[in-house]
Amino acid sequence: MDNQSANTVDTTPQDGGLQWYVLKVQSNRERTIRDNLKRRIRQEALEEFFGDIVIPTEKVIETKSGKKRTIEHKLFPGYLMIQMALNDDTWYLVRSTSGVGDFTGSAGKPIPMQEHEIQRMLGREESKKEESPLKVKVDFQTGDQVKIKDGAFESFEGTIEAIDEANGKITVLIQIFGRPTPVDLEYWQVERV
């Protein structure tokens, strides 16, 4: 008996190509888990069965202490997207990596993502505008009562009428001479009442 052939698993891709799957992983450890997966793939020499491993993120402009900075915000905390050919070896490698919970799918059977889901999760929707890839993190909602803390209308109070996350601007409805007047402001120029 050839002991080696008894332990060998068919490692050819089941459908002949790589497909995208979603992995449930420990939250706040996505980067570490991704790096561990990449390292284990290299160690096991299974690179041909794996493509990208992605943490879906979007870039957001955040202002703290009057300074703007760009941060990456996780779209789906606790999830990774992995492009792979599913077979016994690749399934075992992924599932036995520390921090990986399971593949998403019904009854424990990994289900590949559909094309529209892949595009949405990777943020590559055709309807997205190229000129404004960044969104500004605005911690207000339409209808919030705010007080203007900077600018020509300082100390006025009003209601947020509209929010433009792409540019970080808000429209506040304030009372001037007894009439409601919309004022366009930067989101950091107001505070909640």
CB 28: neighbour CB atoms within 10 A? 10
pLDDT for position 41: 94
> What is the distance between the alpha carbons of residues 4 and 78, in angstroms, rounded to a whole number?
38
Name every residue whose Cβ is closer than 8 Å to that of residue 7 and which is 6 or more positions away in sequence.
none
Two structure tokens written together for 154:
């300082």
CATH of 17-135, one of 3.40.50.620, 3.40.50.150, 3.30.70.990, 3.30.70.940: 3.30.70.940
- Provide CATH 3.30.70.940 ranges for the chain: 17-135
Cβ proximity of 80 and 33 under 8 Å: yes
Per-residue model confidence as pLDDT tens digits over 78-133: 889 999 998 989 989 998 999 998 888 766 678 888 888 887 776 654 444 444 45
pLDDT for position 74: 83
Name every residue whose Cβ is closer than 8 Å to that of residue 46 and which is 6 or more positions away in sequence.
11, 89, 90, 93
CB 135: neighbour CB atoms within 10 A? 15
Q: Which of 114-123, 140-149, 181-190 has the lowest mean pLDDT?
A: 114-123
138-192 CATH fold: SH3 type barrels. (2.30.30)
Helical (H) or strand (E) element with 166: none
Per-residue model confidence as pLDDT tens digits over 23-80: 999 988 999 999 999 999 999 999 999 999 998 887 877 777 667 778 887 888 888 9
Two structure tokens written together for 144:
């919030």
Name every residue whose Cβ is closer than 8 Å to that of residue 45 and which is 6 or more positions away in sequence.
none
Question: pTM here?
Answer: 0.57
Helical (H) or strand (E) element with 112: none
